[in-house]
Amino acid sequence: MSRGGSSTESCRQKRQEAGQDMTADERRSKAIRDFYRVYKEYGQLDNVRYHMRVEMSGDALIEIHRYYGERKGERILRVTHEEVEGAEVSAEVAAYEQATEQLLSMIKTRRESLEENERRRQEARRWA
C-alpha cells in the first residue's frame, strides 16, 4: 500500500485550510463557516450580538456589540473592507477572515482574563 496517496490528500487539505487551491465560492463558504464557529465560541464567554452588511458596491461591514440583558452596550469589534477591483478576495470574504482572526485573539485574551480572575479568587479564599 502506497503512502503517496494519503500524503497528497493531506497536503491538498492543508492548502485548502490555508486558503490556497480553493475556488472563490469555497473560500467564501469557509470564511463564513469559520466566522460563525468562532463567533459562537466567543458568545459562550460574553453576551454579544453581531451586525453584518454587504453593500451593492461590494463593501462589507461586520460589527459586534456587547449586550447587558437586552440593552446594547459598547462595540467590541468593527471590521470594514471596501471592494477593490482585481483584489484576490472579495471585501466580504476579507471582512469575515479579518473578523475571525480578531475574534480568535479576543477569545484568547478573554480566557486569560477569566483564568486570572479565578486564580485571584482562589488565592483570596485561601487567605480568608
**Residues 64-99 pLDDT 10s:** 999 999 999 999 999 999 988 888 889 999 999 999
Q: Provide the b/e sequence for 5-37 (b: ≥16 CB within 10 Å).
A: eeeeeeeeeeeeeeeeeeeeeebbebbbebbee
Q: What percentage of the chain exceeds 90 in pLDDT? A: 68
- At 23, list the grid cell: 475556488
Instruction: Quote the CA–CA distance of 14 and 20 in Å, as a whole number.
Output: 9
Instruction: Quote the CA–CA distance of 69 and 63 in Å, as a whole number.
Output: 18
Q: Is the pLDDT of residue 51 over 60?
A: yes
Instruction: Quote the CA–CA distance of 49 and 51 in Å, as a whole number.
Output: 7
pTM of the model: 0.74
CATH architecture of 23-127: 2-Layer Sandwich (3.30)
pLDDT score of 2: 44
pLDDT score of 15: 56
Q: Can you tell me the mean pLDDT for 113-126?
A: 92
Q: Can you tell me the mean pLDDT for 30-50?
A: 95
Instruction: Quote the CA–CA distance of 93 and 115 in Å, as a whole number.
Output: 33
Q: Can you tell me the mean pLDDT for 25-45?
A: 95
pLDDT score of 10: 59
pLDDT score of 128: 73
